Amino acid sequence: MFSVIRCKKMSILLTAIFAIATVCGSACSRKTTHADPDLDSFAKQIAERKVNDFGYPANHDIRLGDFYTWLTSSKLYAAMINNAGDPFDQHGGHLNALSFERNVIEFFGPHYGFDKGNLWGLVTASGTDGNNHGIYFGSKYLEKKTRKKPVVYVSDAAHYSNMRLADLQNLKLVLVPSDVHGRMIPEEFEKRLVPNRPALMVYAMGTTFKGGIDDQDALNKILARHPSIEVYRHVDAALFGGYLPFTEFRDLVDRKKHPFDSIAVSGHKFFGMDEPAGIFLTTMEVKNNQNPFEVSYLNGSMPMINCSRSALSPLKLFWIIRHTGEQGFISQAASLLERAKWLKDSMDKMSWPAWLEPASNTVYFKRPPDALVQKYDLAPDSDARLGGNLSHIVVMQHVTKERLQSFLNDLERTRQVHETR
Ligand SMILES: Cc1ncc(COP(=O)(O)O)c(C=O)c1O
């Protein structure tokens, strides 16, 4: 009797093991079928390299894992949704996430001093796409008001996208020299001001290499001395525009304190998107003074440059806003600035020439030996006024003090090797 029961138990156990093995086997074979050694080794390489990626303004502390789990479990991944259309004027019947896009813009609007009733914007493909809209909207707005094409003024330390875009849009570009801190020199700007043409100012809110911030008040004072010149102000705040609203320096990006007309910010820098994206914000007045191009098949007007646009980027930004929250952004921003100051102080202590501009998370310094430049992916630049070759570290969320300490240890070691030679 006992052995019969034992036998039965045994057979149940074996059946269970067989069932588990079958499920496991098919899952494993599915895994094997879909595994791709090339993609796997690429992913491994990126995971290793991102740890020491210090030279570019990417935030590698991505928190979208749960978003992708949701995307798969909700089956949304299997639909093609397209944000062609205006998030503030939704007519289209096609599959889109325009209401989430509008929600994202309305979350950020007040952070840059836009009132809800006088706000228009979109989630862009990148900071460059935001600058493209700023220059395009600015130029059409000024042309409509004055019947003249504007001149674009930008400092020679600003991001090259502004120069490329002025060229693309066939606009006259005036490059204004910058000072040693990367800021447009107001006197040099005034010397170059074209008296009979509207001015499209591109203010740099954190230049790419030195983190210089154009002095909006000084430049606005000059413009006020030339009241016949119609002005549009676009702020290129690709990196700094992400964290500044959440710091004591928030006034710099508040249009109620500094009257700008539009602003562009990257989404994959401070905010932690895992692919290029951004936001572009402007006023209804600017938007209503564009050529709308009525598009019947979309049942609406299309003031923006692109037709098809990502619907996933707004959803990811919506997710990031929901899961980070105001308080999360505030503490991330404080932490970046604290670590940047710590890095600068540490380099001062070892007497390695280093600079940090106010409100900046970018420490720039005398360029270290090549081995370190490669190990930490340090971007190169040079400035004769500061002794020649320079590099910088952009202190993003993944650039922890421990990792910075390793960099400082490497720097000290290589210096000692060089000095004893
Ligand atoms: C000041 C500034 N503006 C614009 C850009 C371009 O932004 P994106 O790379 O998002 O196109 C960058 C990129 O680093 C930048 O630093």
The tens digit of pLDDT for each residue in 261-313 reads: 999 999 999 999 999 999 999 999 999 999 878 787 777 778 899 999 999 99
Strands 388-394 and 362-366: antiparallel
Which is the closest atom of ligand 1 to the Cα of 277?
10
The three-class DSSP label of residue 258 is coil
pLDDT at 18: 42
* Separation of CA 266 and ligand 1 centre (Å): 7
* Residue 318 and residue 99 in contact, taking contact as beta carbons nearer than 8 Å: no
Least confident span in 186-190, 301-305, 392-396, 398-402: 301-305
**Domains of the chain by range and CATH?**
72-322 (3.40.640.10), 326-420 (3.90.1150.10)
Rounded Cα–Cα distance for residues 393 and 54 (Å): 5
* Separation of CA 162 and ligand 1 centre (Å): 9
Residue from 123, 128, 162 to probe ligand 1 pocket by mutation (most atoms less than 8 Å from CB): 128
pLDDT at 295: 80
Residue type, 276: P
Residue from 123, 159, 357 to probe ligand 1 pocket by mutation (most atoms less than 8 Å from CB): 159
Q: Is 242 in the pocket of ligand 1 (CB under 6 A)?
A: no
The tens digit of pLDDT for each residue in 380-390 reads: 999 999 999 99
Chain mean pLDDT for the chain: 91
Please return the burial class of 269, using the count of CB atoms within 10 Å of its CB with bins 0-12, 13-18 and 19+: buried
The tens digit of pLDDT for each residue in 236-247 reads: 999 999 999 999
Rounded Cα–Cα distance for residues 255 and 205 (Å): 13
Structure token pair of residue 205? 């809110």
